Amino acid sequence: MKQNEIDAILNVHRLAFGPEEGEETAQLAKDLLGHPDVLSFSVERDGQIAGNVLFMPFEFVDHPGVACQLLAPCGVLPEYQGQGVGRELMQTSIAHLTAIGTDAVFVLGVPTFYPRYGFAPTDKQTPYPDLLTLPQSWMALELVTGTVAPLSGKTLAIPQFMQPQFWDTSMYG
């Protein structure tokens, strides 16, 4: 990935998450983009990157054979919000994840956005279960039917996303 593409992706997340969370989210995206197992999907409009979503491996320690991904972050430039960029990001990325054999996708996100794409609240454990104060924001999407129900136990994301602040929902709602 070229530096100008990375810069554009970071700008998407910085602006999409606004002054309160934008810098932290852009830094997270930068850290994640440096990891070889992170998948990045972008949507362009008017010759620029208008939206971006990242996915990383998400492991249930007691279920190593199940291929899960964690979605974070997903952002759309403010001037393109409400114009189908988020929908295109989700549809394109989910189709790709299905094609490469992903069993399920998890997200800690906006409970009014992700259900549009099949995500549903889940009782599966996050890496920091005590920090999940808004359980409806922790969701899963089965890409292979029957994958999520048997999952249990400790979960892990890549090191860049294993920081408690990324799992704390107490500041929302």
Output the six-digit token pair for 140. 């899963």
Q: What gap in Å lies between CA 93 and CA 2, rounded to an integer? A: 20
> Which amino acid, one-letter code, is at 27?
Q
pLDDT tens string 135-158: 999 999 999 999 999 999 999 999
Q: How many domains does the chain have?
A: 1
Q: Is residue 171 part of a domain?
A: no
Instruction: State pTM to two decimals.
Output: 0.96
Cβ neighbours around 52 below 10 Å, total = 27
CATH number of the domain that residue 113 is part of: 3.40.630.30
Q: Is residue 50 part of a domain?
A: yes
pLDDT tens string 100-124: 999 999 999 999 999 999 999 999 9
Q: Is residue 172 part of a domain?
A: no
Pairing assessment for the beta strands 48-60 and 138-142 based on DSSP bridges? unpaired
- Domain range for 124 is 3-166
Q: Is residue 173 part of a domain?
A: no
**Contact at 8 Å (CB) between 23 and 4?**
no
Q: Is residue 27 part of a domain?
A: yes
